[in-house]
Chain A
Amino acid sequence: MSDHKTMTLTLIVWRQKKANDPGKFETYTAKNITEHHSFLEMLDCVNEDLIHTGKDPIVFDHDCREGICGMCSQVINGAPHGGQDRTTVCQLHMRKFKDGDTIYIEPWRARAFPIIRDLIVDRSALDKIIQAGGYTSCHTGGVADGNAILIPKPVADEAMDAAECVGCGACVAGCPNGSAMLFTGAKVSQLAILPQGKGEAAARVKNMTETMKECGFGNCSNHYECMAACPKGINVKFIARMNREFIKSLIA
């Protein structure tokens, strides 16, 4: 509110009406943007202008706008979520840009994520991977007391490090192979680290990696772009852990 400096920016945005349309870049101007605008609020302003002139606004996925739901998904100047460390698009603020900047905005691009419209892609393949085994097969009710199995803090903490994944798909978008190894590795690891998940570990890693392949995700060739793009800083060591779990499953 107290800030009087405003920015004018040139946006070059991917527009695509339907899944099978060719799509193209369009240029827009964002005016009166302050450093306190979030990136999505900047797009809101551009969209309001477009609607007033009778044009279709830019369509993008977003929901919680506080970096946890994993819905927002844009490649900004070539970097998923805009390249700020551990930050989703919705938490990226315009103070990271300066007056006169040109910003390229594209959707996640990966074989397994077909474009639905403009910046929105279909990420249901990630749900399919979880459905293949990203759970413990416990029933509702009839489970043991929460303290019946002791899980020392370092173990619980490591499981939590893996569990922080928000399922946004930035790892896939950032990977030159369009691989979902970080996403899958995080879930496989979380459940393999915890005693509750160990019983099904072998079947889980087999089924989840198999589904990953079926959905059209590529493999890992150690670029580590996924970790750089991940808004939660999920570590690539969980990919290594998944590989170990996979090898273990072959002899289990």
Chain B
Amino acid sequence: MILDGKCPTGPIEQTWDKHRFDLKLVNPANKRKYKVIVVGTGLAGGAAAASLGELGYNVQAFCYQDSPRRAHSIAAQGGINAAKNYPNDGDSIYRLFYDTIKGGDFRAREADVWRLAQVSNNIIDQCVAQGVPFGRDYAGYLDNRSFGGAQVSRTFFARGQTGQQLLLGAYSALSRQIKAGTVQMYDRREMLDLVVVDGVARGITVRNLVTGEMESYAADAVCLATGGYVNVFYLSTNAMGCSVTANWKAHKKGAFFANPCYTQIHPTCIPQAGDYQSKLTLMSESLRNDGRVWVPKKKADCGKHPSEIAEDDRDYYLERKYPSYGNLAPRDIASRAAKEQCDDGRGVGPGGRGVYLDFEDSIKRLGEDTIRERYGNLFEMYEKITDENGYKRPMRMYPAPHYSMGGLWVDYNLMSNIPGLFVLGEANFSVHGANRLGASALMQGLADGYFVIPYTIGGYLATVKPGQVKADHEEFKKSTEDVTAEQNKYLAINGKKTVFEFMREVGGLMWENCGMARTKESLETNLQKIPALREEFWKNVKVTGSGAELNQQLENAGRTADFLEFSELLCRDALHRNESCGGHFRSEYQDAGEAQRDDVNFCYVGAWEYKGNNKTPELHKEPLKFDNVHLAVRSYK
């Protein structure tokens, strides 16, 4: 099937404004008759629930944490992009649009990216109005820093906790609506199924994580803002609870999964210390503004204390390879370059899996106080984890899974191929193409939540009669029975291996064979091993306790079971895409280490349709057209 993203046509500058006018409206008095479910309360979900509630819709919001304020958007450190051009350094909506299309290695839709760049400025204004304490100068003006993949300073920040402050802004707006009664908040709930009636999304089945009870919620539209799936690698920068489950359940109910192989490996994370490790910690990309990345030129120097390695014996490989962007090369490129140096035997630290991020020159130039002022909390975090002082000794960094550009397929209105199912933020695939630029995730989450869904959902709801399906409908009963049966199955197996052991194993396979570099051979290995591991899981997993209580193993068992299915799709997508682009690097397709795209055969969105358990999924394509940005080889040299 050829998919249609229903993007508006005509001059790109007018697309969003024209589309907004063309969208149907719901009369203010009728809005409260429509129920909207929002799953996830991060930047996208929190902003959406707050904005839709304020418009007058009857909103129900869900999160698995104990409070909507804890969604993983909170961990974003460095900043949020906007095309304000406050520094007068040549930025514009067009440039942000251009950089994002190019940064995504020409695998995103032009119209969606244009809209993102256009509303980026509104986001900053909105957050300031909420009381987000962005960094400012002494005169009181908003301050900017630069980030990877751009040559202008367009990144707004709140110390090293920008995600936290933006999320607390969205959470405060959401709290105001909860108080006003327009949003009902359900915390400690995990969505375990999408309920579809006659091809239309009508609600969700959730597990109350405290009591274990299954609950049914019906609505006129369902918005998934359920984040990304890089915990499929087991070790990642994501929170422990981040999973593919909500998206995967929707996929199994018919929603197409687009470009799952586009995964972002972030170049600067604290290297793994041991096998027991449960997660990896990111160090903001903003550190590359003042930190220089290097490894020893000579293998023999790798074991030495960094201060004993002479300047001439250091290889500042990013500055050498990409002189115009230097240490601010985009993430996919910086990560691959780090791997390349380590594979060459010039990595540092345990196992040779690390590169130095060195602040010595900046400290000499600006003084330690300025560096502390800019990144103090990051240095503190680094020291807590590694017991090393980053001011005195270069930090050790290694790439780690961080973000998923792929996600559920949506059209320009953020609606999936299932009518009534909308997907927002990292959970959809729409704007980052094959690689996301730094400080763009926060921008997308808030753009979708504050400024896109409030318009586009109205266009859909205006065409449907409210309240057609109630939670006592047969499909809800069936969904609850199916989910309960699955839970009981986990509990009944009583095997020998824990859920974590399985997750570590599948994550290991994914990192080894489908991580920063992939080959036909490595992917085919995974397509053999993953189904076998899945089979073992269903025979040998051990989950204690019962389903009628707070049971964290049971929660993780469900998430792991979904990862064991989803990981296969990810590998299949990576195998079919015989090209390298952005975060998807197939070793067979390269030009001296640089990704080699194949625009003749692969300039499309690959969206997969679920065909049943252990059946081969079907690929649908949405061709990508570039009318405004010339398709070119991406160069940061």
Q: Does B351 contact A (CB under 8 A)?
A: yes
Chain A residues whose CB sits within 8 angstroms of the CB of B277 once the complex forms: 41
Select B139's contact among A152, A191, A196, beta carbons within 8 Å: A152
- Give complex CA distance A51, B542 in Å: 8
Mask of B131-146 contacts with A, CB within 8 angstroms, 1/0: 1111111111110000
Q: Does A116 contact B (CB under 8 A)?
A: yes
Instruction: Give the interface size bracket for B toward A.
Output: 35 or more
Q: Are A36 and B273 in contact (CB under 8 A)?
A: yes
Closest A residue by C-beta to B281 = A66
Select A147's contact among B127, B141, B278, beta carbons within 8 Å: B141
- Give complex CA distance A149, B387 in Å: 42
Q: Are A194 and B65 in contact (CB under 8 A)?
A: no
Select A196's contact among B130, B142, B380, B385, beta carbons within 8 Å: B130
Q: Does A87 contact B (CB under 8 A)?
A: yes
Q: Does A150 contact B (CB under 8 A)?
A: yes
Chain A residues whose CB sits within 8 angstroms of the CB of B553 once the complex forms: 51, 57
Q: Are A151 and B136 in contact (CB under 8 A)?
A: yes
- Give complex CA distance A57, B50 in Å: 37
Q: Does B363 contact A (CB under 8 A)?
A: no
Q: Tell which of A125-133, A220-228, A240-248 binds the partner.
A: A125-133
Whether A167 contacts B67 in the complex (CB less than 8 A), given A51-B553, A138-B126, A160-B158, comes out as: yes
Between B54, B127, B172, B237, the greatest number of chain A beta carbons within 10 A of the residue's beta carbon is seen for B172
Q: Are B173 and A64 in contact (CB under 8 A)?
A: no
Q: Are A143 and B128 in contact (CB under 8 A)?
A: yes
Within the complex, the shortest CB–CB distance from A136 to chain B, in Å, comes to: 5
- Give complex CA distance A154, B138 in Å: 7
Q: Does B40 contact A (CB under 8 A)?
A: no
- Give complex CA distance A126, B171 in Å: 13
Chain B residues whose CB sits within 8 angstroms of the CB of A124 once the complex forms: 66-67, 187
Q: Does B550 contact A (CB under 8 A)?
A: yes
Chain B residues whose CB sits within 8 angstroms of the CB of A196 once the complex forms: 128-131
Q: Are B451 and A141 in contact (CB under 8 A)?
A: yes
- Give complex CA distance A64, B282 in Å: 11
Select B164's contact among A34, A51, A117, A166, beta carbons within 8 Å: A166
Q: Does A203 contact B (CB under 8 A)?
A: no
Within the complex, the shortest CB–CB distance from B285 to chain A, in Å, comes to: 15
- Give complex CA distance A151, B549 in Å: 50
Segment 514-552 of B: residues with Cβ below 8 Å from A: 542, 544-545, 549-550, 552
Q: Are A153 and B138 in contact (CB under 8 A)?
A: yes
Mask of A40-68 contacts with B, CB within 8 angstroms, 1/0: 11001100100110111101011111111
Q: Tell which of B6-14, B93-101, B174-182, B622-630 binds the partner.
A: B174-182
Instruction: Give the interface size bracket for A toward B.
Output: 35 or more
Closest B residue by C-beta to A117 = B550
- Give complex CA distance A167, B74 in Å: 12
Q: Are B131 and A197 in contact (CB under 8 A)?
A: yes
Within the complex, the shortest CB–CB distance from B630 to chain A, in Å, comes to: 33
Within the complex, the shortest CB–CB distance from A51 to chain B, in Å, comes to: 5
Whether A147 contacts B142 in the complex (CB less than 8 A), given A120-B550, A135-B130, comes out as: yes
Chain B residues whose CB sits within 8 angstroms of the CB of A99 once the complex forms: none
Q: Are B69 and A70 in contact (CB under 8 A)?
A: yes
Closest A residue by C-beta to B127 = A146
Closest B residue by C-beta to A190 = B131
Within the complex, the shortest CB–CB distance from B52 to chain A, in Å, comes to: 9
Chain A residues whose CB sits within 8 angstroms of the CB of B241 once the complex forms: 63
Segment 137-176 of B: residues with Cβ below 8 Å from A: 137-142, 158-159, 161, 164-165, 168, 171-173, 175-176
Closest A residue by C-beta to B275 = A1
Chain B residues whose CB sits within 8 angstroms of the CB of A134 once the complex forms: 172, 175
Q: Does A140 contact B (CB under 8 A)?
A: yes
Q: Are A194 and B67 in contact (CB under 8 A)?
A: no
Q: Does B122 contact A (CB under 8 A)?
A: yes
Q: Are A156 and B136 in contact (CB under 8 A)?
A: yes
Chain A residues whose CB sits within 8 angstroms of the CB of B281 once the complex forms: 65-66
Select A145's contact among B69, B125, B131, B237, beta carbons within 8 Å: B125
Segment 82-135 of A: residues with Cβ below 8 Å from B: 86-87, 91, 93, 95, 116-117, 120, 122-124, 126-127, 130-132, 134-135
Chain A residues whose CB sits within 8 angstroms of the CB of B130 once the complex forms: 135-136, 138, 196
Closest B residue by C-beta to A45 = B276
Q: Does B70 contact A (CB under 8 A)?
A: yes
- Give complex CA distance A126, B165 in Å: 17
Within the complex, the shortest CB–CB distance from A9 to chain B, in Å, comes to: 14
- Give complex CA distance A76, B387 in Å: 21
10 extra interface residue pairs, beta carbon distance < 8 Å, beyond A1-B351, A127-B175:
A3-B274, A65-B240, A66-B281, A93-B385, A123-B67, A126-B67, A131-B176, A140-B54, A143-B129, A196-B128
A-B interface, 4 closest residue pairs, ranked by CB to CB distance from nearest:
A150-B140, A135-B172, A143-B129, A138-B129
Give the interface of B toward A (CB within 8 A): 47, 50-51, 54, 65-70, 72, 74-75, 84, 86, 122, 124-142, 158-159, 161, 164-165, 168, 171-173, 175-176, 178-179, 185, 187, 210, 237, 239-241, 272-274, 276-279, 281-282, 350-351, 380-381, 384-385, 387, 450-451, 454, 498, 500-501, 542, 544-545, 549-550, 552-553
30 cross-chain CB contacts under 8 A: A34-B276, A35-B387, A37-B276, A55-B544, A56-B544, A59-B552, A65-B278, A68-B161, A68-B164, A70-B69, A91-B385, A93-B385, A124-B67, A127-B67, A131-B175, A134-B172, A138-B173, A140-B126, A140-B450, A140-B454, A143-B125, A144-B125, A146-B84, A146-B124, A152-B136, A153-B138, A156-B133, A160-B133, A160-B159, A163-B168
